[in-house]
Chains A and B, each alone.
Chain A
Amino acid sequence: DAGVIQSPRHEVTEMGQEVTLRCKPISGHDYLFWYRQTMMRGLELLIYFNNNVPIDDSGMPEDRFSAKMPNASFSTLKIQPSEPRDSAVYFCASRPTSGANVLTFGAGSRLTVL
């Protein structure tokens, strides 16, 4: 299995631009999570999906952030418009239905907003 695949690995953009981060979970995993990691706030859960349906988006910072999961093998996290404070590493993780919350993480997407 190729694991959780994220793209791009690195993104540098200017303030105000739209950013789209992508994630392919492990086949057969019913849960997908988006986390953000910063020095100041550590790892924060942004949103998670179960069977492609968003279950809890209470961690999404504001309306500029949106996430979708159109099918079981693909999810996007979009920031529009981006701001310098959005600079962080964004992780996608997935797990199967039975798994006591044992997550498999992708390698992350490092976003820098200038």
Chain B
Amino acid sequence: AQSVTQLDSQVPVFEEAPVELRCNYSSSVSVYLFWYVQYPNQGLQLLLKYLSGSTLVKGINGFEAEFNKSQTSFHLRKPSVHISDTAEYFCAVSEWNAGNMLTFGGGTRLMVKP
């Protein structure tokens, strides 16, 4: 069965600093990987996805993530954060043969301080 672990429940960072949000997954088969963002009182929005091909994936708002199969990780990065990036970020995994099972991690709250 697939599972996702987001190692940090909260990440405080100053504006314009770089940030990395960590995500590790567990699966015995090939996977699709996703990062979603949730702003206060809103639903989840897709930031980026890895389906196949290049392991470095670029998303919206300057975010990118790198798929590392050997380490079963899909960490999210941004070189310089803004106050507006303050939100909850969710990593999610879907196994190729698991139909429509999308499993979410527990979320990481990114808090950008001025």
Contact = CB atoms under 8 A, between A and B. Distances in A.
Contacts of A100: 32, 49, 51, 94
B45 interface: yes
A42 B104 contact: yes
Interface in B17-48: 32, 34, 36, 41-46
Contacts of B94: 100-101
Q: Which of A48, A50, A100, A104 has the most CB of B within 10 A?
A: A100
A31 B44 contact: no
A101 B45 CA distance: 13
Contact of B102 (A45, A50, A55, A104): A45
B90 interface: yes
Interface residues of B, number: 21
A10 B26 CA distance: 35
Interface string A94-108: 000000111111111
Contacts of A45: 101-102
Given A43-B90, A100-B51, A100-B94, A105 B100 contact: no
B102 A42 contact: no
Interface residues of A, number: 21
A100 B34 CA distance: 10
A42 B107 contact: yes
Contact of B43 (A4, A42, A48, A101): A4
Contact of A107 (B42, B100, B104): B42
Interface of B: 32, 34, 36, 41-46, 49, 51, 90, 94, 99-102, 104-107
14 contacts: A31-B100, A42-B105, A42-B107, A55-B99, A91-B43, A93-B43, A100-B32, A101-B32, A101-B100, A102-B46, A105-B45, A107-B41, A108-B41, A108-B42
| Shortest beta-carbon contacts, A-B, top 7 | A105-B43, A43-B104, A101-B94, A105-B44, A42-B106, A107-B43, A101-B102
Interface of A: 4, 31, 33, 42-43, 45, 48, 50, 55-56, 91, 93, 100-108
